[in-house]
């Protein structure tokens, strides 16, 4: 029996990471998860196993701990590629704790690249973000759009990490990397075995929506209705997390098959459709039938007015495209929320 290619997934117990491990295993890969469980739980491994029939390898390790990370590579010497999710990810928290973000997000990447290059592992997929574009001059935004000064330490770490990867490749090291610039991941696996499980106050809109619909929060706050958009609320490109997970499998295959045309390539991972916050609220109510009280409050510092992707490069080169409808995506998020709260229909 042919041995499955082994992929290292840092932060693989997290929201996007866990869905990506499912997609990898379903595509015939074997996965090793490295996660310090600072923003996730080990129970996620059981959810992955229930979906795929395979419990992924797991090491509770902080990627900032270089000796411990080296031990992971030693324990699984057959790793052929790595997907790097491990990072602190709250825009708001990063403003108040910038050193935490610069330490965690930069040091973990540097340690990963050092270990990979030391061992001759060339294929690397980096979890980046559309935050690198700021408020784009043109919409939809393409990969050629200029990277703008970051509006948060979190966003700045994504920009710096991209620069570190580019500089490392430019120095002649044997590194083949893909930067996946996500737009706004939402939803859950349709099985409701895994989903977004924020620790403490959610940082993303959809968990606020589902927690409000579940009665955990009194009402949803919509930050601003006076933007230069059709209904005054911010516009984003909401991508189903399962679609996003599949993009990582496409990126790994693209690298392993030698299809990349440069040592570092960036791809937008979005739907190409912008939806406003108020539109998303209306769609959630329509798709689920759940009540969702909300109020308009003042703008939130650092929010970009509107951004959505031009995903044609990923569609063409990676052979990937978003396929899930926004209604099914919102229903999956609500199904997951009800499951973890023990809410019966």
Q: Of 322, 45, 339, 57, which Cα lies nearest the Cα of 191?
A: 339
Q: Of 277, 265, 274, 276, which Cα lies nearest the Cα of 310?
A: 274
What pLDDT score does 319 carry?
98
Question: How many CA atoms lie within 13 Å of 273's alpha carbon, on the beta-carbon side?
Answer: 13
pLDDT of 2 over the 90 cut:
no
Residues 309-322, mean pLDDT to the nearest whole number: 98
Is-cis flag, bond preceding 344, omega within 30? no
pLDDT, tens only, 249-295: 999 999 999 999 999 999 999 999 999 999 999 999 999 999 999 99
What predicted TM-score, i.e. pTM, was given to this entire model? 0.97
What pLDDT score does 151 carry?
84
- Annotated catalytic, 238? no
CATH topology for the 6-186+238-270 domain = Rossmann fold (3.40.50)
- The full set of domain ranges for the chain reads 6-186+238-270, 205-235+273-313+325-340
What pLDDT score does 57 carry?
98
In the set 15, 101, 133, 154, the catalytic residue is 154
Residues 174-198, mean pLDDT to the nearest whole number: 96
Check: CATH 3.40.640.10 for 205-235+273-313+325-340? no
Residues 99-127, mean pLDDT to the nearest whole number: 98
pLDDT, tens only, 56-95: 999 999 999 999 999 999 999 999 999 999 999 888 889 8
Report the Cα 16 to chain-centroid distance in Å.
Answer: 5
Structure token pair of residue 280: 């998303």
């Amino acid at each position: 029996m042919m041995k499955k290619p082994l992929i290292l997934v840092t932060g693989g117990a997290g929201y996007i990471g866990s869905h990506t491990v499912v997609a990898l295993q379903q595509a015939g890969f074997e996965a090793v998860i490295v996660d310090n469980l600072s923003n996730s739980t080990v129970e996620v491994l059981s959810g992955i196993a229930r979906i795929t029939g395979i419990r992924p390898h797991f090491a509770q390790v902080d990627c900032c701990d270089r000796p411990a990370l080296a031990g992971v590579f030693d324990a699984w010497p057959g790793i052929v590629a790595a997907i790097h999710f491990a990072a602190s990810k709250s825009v708001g928290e990063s403003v108040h704790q910038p050193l935490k973000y610069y330490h965690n997000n930069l040091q973990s990447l540097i340690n990963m690249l050092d270990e990979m290059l030391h061992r001759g592992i060339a294929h690397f997929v980096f979890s980046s973000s559309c935050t690198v574009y700021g408020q784009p001059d043109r919409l939809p935004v393409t990969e050629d759009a200029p990277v703008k000064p970051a509006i948060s330490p979190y966003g700045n770490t994504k920009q710096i990490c991209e620069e570190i990867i580019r500089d490392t490749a430019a120095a002649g090291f044997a590194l083949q990397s893909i930067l996946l610039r996500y737009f706004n991941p939402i939803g859950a696996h349709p099985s409701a075995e895994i989903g977004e499980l924020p620790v403490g106050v959610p940082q993303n809109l959809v968990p606020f929506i589902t927690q409000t619909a579940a009665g955990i929060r009194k009402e949803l706050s919509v930050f601003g209705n006076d933007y230069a958009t059709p209904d005054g609320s911010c516009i984003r490109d909401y991508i189903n997390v399962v679609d996003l997970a599949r993009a990582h499998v496409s990126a790994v295959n693209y690298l392993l098959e030698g299809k990349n045309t440069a040592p570092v390539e960036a791809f937008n991972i979005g739907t190409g459709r912008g939806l406003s916050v108020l539109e998303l609220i209306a769609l959630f109510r329509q798709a689920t039938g759940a009540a969702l009280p909300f109020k308009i409050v003042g703008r939130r510092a650092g929010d970009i007015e509107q951004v959505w992707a031009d995903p044609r490069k990923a569609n063409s080169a990676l052979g990937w495209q978003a396929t899930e409808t926004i209604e099914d995506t919102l229903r999956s998020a609500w199904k997951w929320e009800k499951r973890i709260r023990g809410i019966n229909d």
